[in-house]
Amino acid sequence: MLHGRSQDKGDALLKELRAETGNQKLSYLLADFARLSDIHALAEQAAGLDRLDVLVNNAGIGVELDRQESWDGHELTFQVDYLAAYVLAVKLAPLLTRSAPARIVNVSSAGQAPINFDDVMLRRRWDGVQAYCQAKLAQIMLTIDLAETLQGTGVTVNALHPASYMPTKMVVNLFTPQSTVAEGMRHTLRLITDPEVADVTGTYFNRSEKSRASSQAYDGAARARLRAVSEELTGVPFPVAV
């Protein structure tokens, strides 16, 4: 199942992939992560599947030059890069558990910054780098919390920095590319399929190596504050157990 926010692009991609692979079971789900209602609808649609082996939270936006808000009034980067991953991972955790062994892979970044819980939406002091980096750290904090909650269910939860400055649309307008998309794809695919990491959970990887995230990720009180913020903003309670 593929996700995107353009039906035309989705149809074209399905046509291309079906021709290349011969796989007619591919499907495309439409959702704009700037709308929480779209994120919830996507989660509900996926939750109706018979099984789900892997959830990859990869969609996101990069460093924005100006502060933007989602349709829901939230700082856009925080919603698209983090809150969407929160809603999907939490709401699909029961299906993943029933499908176990299963995996959640959160595509994060080496660019990480502590969350300022007094101004999560950066209304007082906007900074595009801070917006991106705090959302990516929030993904890793979610990874650690959800891995603890799902311990023993057969569902693993890991995060990774796939590669640095791949030549994607979010990079080329602001930075000089340093890595290839193929490299990032390879490291992401490893966490999806490699038997060697089948039992690894709650871990942040820098490319293919286990690494240490920014220190706030390991602060239990900070993660509890993030869970409370996430629940309030999305209306989705973090599970005590699945």
- State pLDDT tens for residues 124-136: 999 999 999 999 9
Q: Is 31 exposed, middle or buried (0-12, 13-18, 19+ CB in 10 A)?
A: buried
What is the CATH number assigned to the segment(s) 52-234? 3.40.50.720
What local confidence, expressed as pLDDT, does residue 164 receive? 72
Report phi then psi at 194, rounded to 5. -70, 125
Q: Which residue has the higher pLDDT, 9 or 180?
A: 9
Average pLDDT over residues 209-220: 98
What local confidence, expressed as pLDDT, does residue 194 receive? 97
Whether 144 and 224 have beta carbons less than 8 Å apart is answered as no
Give the integer Cα–Cα distance in Å for 156 and 192: 10
Percentage with pLDDT > 90 across the chain:
89
pTM of the full structure: 0.93
pLDDT exceeds cutoff 60 at 69: yes
